[in-house]
Amino acid sequence: MVEEGQDAPNFSALTETFKNVQLFESSEKVLIILALMSVDTPVCETIVRHFDAEMTGTIERASRSDDVRGSAKMFVETVEIWSVSLDLPFTLGRCREAANVKNVKMLSDFRTREFSERYGVSISTGIHTGIISRAVFVIGKNMKIAYRWDPKNLSDEPKYKDVIEVTNRELNRISIGNVKA
């Protein structure tokens, strides 16, 4: 199980078009990774929709002139949101269309299970054995785990505000680092 402050383990997963994606391909980004039981469950769909709406709102703010400091633009250019589940890529595409999700990259761990194993989110006991437990990770540009959220109950939703605050903190580190360079 990975914890805050540890290096983020690389993993590969499949897009809804069966394209292989690796974590390290996004090393220049701050990543919000949503570990999901299935995108086809009400709570997981709610989580994906929430983060998609957050990114959509930020994209809209970035295009307006009131983004004086450019923080919304930086968020859009530097942050990616990924969801990872064991759903088949076909399911990811169907659920994306049904929920009108545009700004969350939906990935499947069904082929290699690298994500679920390396991040310690595979449920190993009870009736849910073998599926991914809900969790949220924020991975900084330094490829370190900056935040990890695990639910107390499988029906819990993440603390959305905390995820965005940590993401913004990681963006500020990038901004400060660029000024010093």
Catalogue the active-site residues: 44
- What does the CA dihedral 107, 110, 112, 115 come to, rounded to 10 degrees? 50
Calpha distance 10→71 (Å, rounded): 28
Calpha distance 8→64 (Å, rounded): 34
Q: Which two tokens stand for residue 143?
A: 């490829």
DSSP 8-state class, residue 124: -
3-state class of 101 per DSSP? coil
